Amino acid sequence: MLEALKRDLQERFSTVIAMAEEAVKAALNGEKAACQTASKRLSQLSRLVESVGVGFNPKPFEALGKVLSAANSKNAEKIREAVEELAESLGIQPSGDALRDVQLASRAARGKSLLLLTID
C-alpha cells in the first residue's frame, strides 16, 4: 500500500512539473501562462504529502512554486532563476537556458532515480 501511495505522489509531482514546463514555454513565448491550475495542484500535493507523513525533500516543491510564480509574471530573468533553482533541487546542473532546464527537470521527474530524491 505504501508503494502504491509513493507511486501516486510521484505521478502527481510529475504532472505538476509537466504543467510548469508548458507554462514556462508559454511565458517565454510571450503568451499567457496557465499557472492557476498547476499552482492549485502543487498546493494540494504539498498538503497531501505532509498529511500522509512520508519523508520528502521540500526544496523541489518550493522551487516548483517559484517557477509557476515566475512564469505567471512573464519575467524571463525570474523564470531563469526559478528554473535553475528547480533543476538544482532535482540534482540537475543548470545550463542557463530556462526552457532546456525545465524540460530536463520535467523528464527527470518522470524517471524514478531523480524523483526518489524528491519524495522519499
Q: Above 90 in pLDDT, residue 108?
A: no
- For residue range 35-92, what is the model confidence (pLDDT) as tens digits? 888 999 999 998 888 888 777 788 999 999 999 999 999 899 999 999 999 999 988 8
Q: Could you identify the residue written with the cell 540537475?
A: 92
| Domain housing 48 | 2-118
Q: What's the whole-model pTM score?
A: 0.83
Please list the residues that pair with 56 across neighbouring strands: 119
**How much is the mean pLDDT over the chain?**
85
Cell numbers found for residue 33: 501562462
Ramachandran angles phi, psi of 51, nearest 5°: -75, -30
Provide the pLDDT for residue 56: 77
Q: Above 50 in pLDDT, residue 117?
A: no
Provide the pLDDT for residue 49: 86
Domain count, the chain: 1
Helix axes 2-28, 76-89, angle to 10 degrees: 160
Long-range contacts of 107-115 (CB under 8 A, 24+ apart): 109/10, 109/13, 109/14, 109/17, 109/18, 110/14, 110/18, 112/10, 114/90, 115/10, 115/13, 115/14
Provide the pLDDT for residue 44: 92
Provide the pLDDT for residue 9: 86
